[in-house]
Structure formats: C-alpha cells, structure tokens
Amino acid sequence: MKVIVVGSSHGGFEAVRGILAEKPDTEIQWYEKGDFVSFLSCGMQLYLEGVVKNVNSVRYATAKGMRAKGVNVFVHQEVTSIDPKAHTVTVHNLDDDSTREEKYDKLILSAGAVPANIPVPGNDLANIYAMRGRDWAIKLKAKTVDPDVQNVAVIGAGYIGIEAAEVFSKAGKHVTLIDILPRPLQLYLDQEFTDILSDTMKDHNIYLATGQGVKEFEGKDGKVSVVKTDQAEYPADLVIETAGIRANTGWLKDTLDLTEKGLVKVNDHLETSQPDIYAVGDSTKVPFAPTGKELQIALATNARRQGRIAAKNVLGHDMKMPAVSGSSALSVYDYHFASTGIKEGTSDANGVKSQSVFVTDTTQPPFVPDEAGNEKVYFKLTFDPDTHRILGAQIMSKRDVTANINAVSLAIQGKMTLEDLAYADFFFQPGFDRPWNIMNVAAQKALQDLDQ
C-alpha cells in the first residue's frame, strides 16, 4: 500500500509515525512545502529567549532520520492538486519548477493553517512579521537584538501574542499589545485571572491596548512606523501579527467539502468527502467533550491525536476521533496557568448553561513558609447547575500546578459531576500539596453554593 502524507507539522508527523509503528514496510511519501521538516512553532518562545540555542533542534524529526526509517521524504515540494477518481496528486518541485503526478492508495492531508493577515492599509510595509514557522523564528530572533527596534506592536493577545510580547519585553523593548477584545487571553481565562496577568504585563513594560481594532499601518521609507487603531496611534519599529489563523485549504475548495471558513469537513474517522482521503490538524474541527459539538481547536495535542487515528484507519482499523476538552497552558513571567473545557466567558458562545465557583488557597499547608515554595493558587471550576456535570476549569499560580487541569480534562471526558469530584482521591504530602486538593475544595464549595 502506498500512503501519501501532506504536511510535516504535528498531524502529519504523527500520521507518518503511526504508520511506521504498526506497518513499517508501508510505502510512505511525505511532502513538505518548506525546506525544513516538522518545525514546532509552539517551541518558538524558548528559542527566541535563548533557552533553546539551535533553531534547527525545535522539531520532531529530520528528513535524514525519517529516510533512514524507509520514509520517502520530499522537502520544498508542494502538492498542488488532487484527482480523487484517479487517486493521484500533482506535485510541484519548487527547486526546479517541474511538476509530476504521484499515485496513492491512501492520502492524509495535514494542510495546517497560516497566520491571518490584517486587511488594512499599509499591511504590505516592511517589518510586519508573523510568529509561525522556522523562517519567522529566525527573523524574529534577529529583531530581539536589533538596536533600531525599540517599539514593538503585537496584534492579538492570545497565546502567541502573549509569547511575542514577553519575548520582546525581556529583550528590553517597549511593547504595545493590541487586541479587539477587552481583555488579554479572554478566550482562555476569565477575568479573575486576566486582571492579575494584566498587572503583571504592565509591570514589565507592556502596554495593553485592548478593546481596540487596527485601522491602518503607517510607514516611513517603506517600513512600518505607526499602528493606528480606532482609538489611538502607537509607534512601532516592528509589528508582529498574531491575530488568528486561517485554514490553508484554498487549493482544496474544488476537491473536498469545506465549511464556510474553509475548514475541511471530516467524519468521526477523519475521512473527508472523497474516498481514501483523510484530513487532520488545524484545518479541521474536533469533537468538543463538554458539548459534544465540533469545534476548531488549533492545538498540537489535537493534531497529534488526529494524525495517529488517521494512521490507524488508513491501516484498516475502525477508530473514531475521541472528544477533547481543549486543554492548554502557558506561563506569563512568574505565573503559570492552564485551562480546559468551558469557561464562564465562553459558555454562551457554546450554547451551554453554566455556573462557576472561584477559590483561592495555598499550594501547601500554612505551616510551610513562603520561601519554601508555598505559593498562592487560584482555581475556578465551571459546571452545569442542573446536572452538576463538570464543564471546565482554570488554574494559576507562581508554582507550577497546571497538571491539575489534566485531571479536570479527564473528569469532563468521563462526564463526572461535582459529587464525583468533591471527594475524588488525590494524594497528600505537605512537601507538595494540601490535604484536600484544590479541585476537591472547589467542588465542595460549589455543592454548598447550590444548596443555599
């Protein structure tokens, strides 16, 4: 059997890896449009801050290493079209501008997504960057030490925007963080958490221009110099656009069924509208455990699961994509936070009735001194007030307690209730935690609130 895999990031890599693990004698052709296989954009901040020294190490695999395992790896070659009836793809070799056709028995598309470009005047000026992929990582690294860059405007206050703002703040630049939403990280955290993080960012020379829409980029000598919003103007020697992504599926619109937003429609086995063609990653939707509905949740964890399940189905298994909770985590200076599932701020958008409880505690018993690592922890639990089913949670502390969110994610997927979580078994050792885990505390408080 011959399997063609298009795209080498999370989903594509895991699809290839899954096939190799089970049937290593399968003929695999793996295509990457760029000249570098499996760069991990989620590791970019570590590289930009110097924690990781070599940009070429921010990857899952090398072309040489995968070829040694029998995979036919093609870099700088783009699959430009598909003929589902003939079971062929057209390949454009970007090195010599030649084209050819390749036959497949099964095809796995990990088309991914590209940064959304803000459609305003001046968006073609120099020094307007993105923060996705190896090429941009190298360019951004140079700007962190460029003495001509003093003012940096980051557009988009989600995860990538926060990472970009922190990188350039630590590099000694003045950063303006612009977002049309009123709070940074609004889609990931409720206000109890973002208020603390907003103050932290302000303390580190990051100006929050939230609740503002970008209207124009102004330039000087062909380079961006000012970002104009609907409320103010901000000097900018460098602009980093992180305001969302768009599916890289324009080339598929005449071949596969797509959503209005250009996402590839897949069934629960990740099969597309054409036989023997599967799709995974950021250009698809995944089943969302709290609601059972499908959502676009662009996380590496979801893409890897999809890649492995697509590989299983390509090899003849009957495996459905499991529901996910949308769990994610990030650090903002000294604070570490994580969230999963439904938040108070996202329940309406998901059509869910919810109620939440917010608790604060310390990570260890009171007799453990602060200097020994006993830190304050903030936790918010979201649930259905009628059924008591757990819907989501958020946690934050200067100590890394984010792994608690993995337990809540399992509770969501297992359809556990407040009663289940209130007295769930978690270990206690005063060097690590409290006798009652904060998840127990929150669930018990929620039940008390419901009884009143």
pLDDT digits (tens, 9 = 90+) for 191-220: 999 999 999 999 999 999 999 999 999 999
Matching fold, domains 117-243 and 334-451 = no
Question: Residue 247 and residue 263: Cα distance in Å, rounded?
Answer: 6
- In this structure, what DSSP letter does residue 351 have? T
Q: List residues with catalytic annotation.
A: 10, 42
Q: Give Dmax over CA atoms of the chain in angstroms.
A: 73
| pLDDT for residue 244 is more than 90 | no
Q: DSSP H helical segments within 277-320, as ranges?
A: 300-314
Question: Residue 330 and residue 56: Cα distance in Å, rounded?
Answer: 23
Summarised one tens digit per residue, pLDDT across range 72-83 is: 999 999 999 999
Instruction: Please enumerate in sequence order all residues whose Cβ is within 8 A of that of 145, keeping only pairs 6 or more positions apart, or say none.
Output: 171
| pLDDT for residue 415 is more than 90 | yes
**Are the C-beta atoms of 425 and 436 separated by less than 8 Å?**
no
**Are the C-beta atoms of 391 and 341 separated by less than 8 Å?**
yes
Q: Which pLDDT value is given to residue 133?
A: 93
Question: Residue 101 and residue 275: Cα distance in Å, rounded?
Answer: 19
Fold of the 2-34+42-114+246-314 domain: FAD/NAD(P)-binding domain (3.50.50)
Q: Which pLDDT value is given to residue 329?
A: 97
Structure tokens that stand for 164 in this block: 């970009």
Q: Tell me the pTM.
A: 0.94
Closest to 382 (Cα-Cα) out of 353, 419, 355: 355
Q: Residue 391: how many CA atoms within 13 Å on its side-chain side? A: 25
* 42-47, Cβ contacts within 8 angstroms, sequence gap of 24 or more: 42/300, 44/131, 44/137, 44/140, 44/163, 45/163, 45/166, 45/167, 47/137, 47/141
Summarised one tens digit per residue, pLDDT across range 332-378 is: 999 999 999 999 989 999 999 999 999 999 999 999 999 999 999 99
Distance of CA 382 to the CA centre of its chain: 22
Summarised one tens digit per residue, pLDDT across range 396-407 is: 999 999 999 999
Per-domain boundaries in the chain:
2-34+42-114+246-314, 117-243, 334-451
**Are the C-beta atoms of 281 and 247 separated by less than 8 Å?**
no
Q: What angle do CA 345, 351, 354 make, to 5 degrees?
A: 55
Q: 392 φ, ψ to 5°?
A: 180, 175
Asked if the 117-243 domain carries CATH number 3.50.50.60, the reply is yes
Q: Per DSSP, what are the bridge partners of residue 210?
A: 179
Which CATH homologous superfamily contains domain 334-451?
FAD/NAD-linked reductase, C-terminal dimerisation domain (3.30.390.30)
Q: 346 φ, ψ to 5°?
A: -120, 0
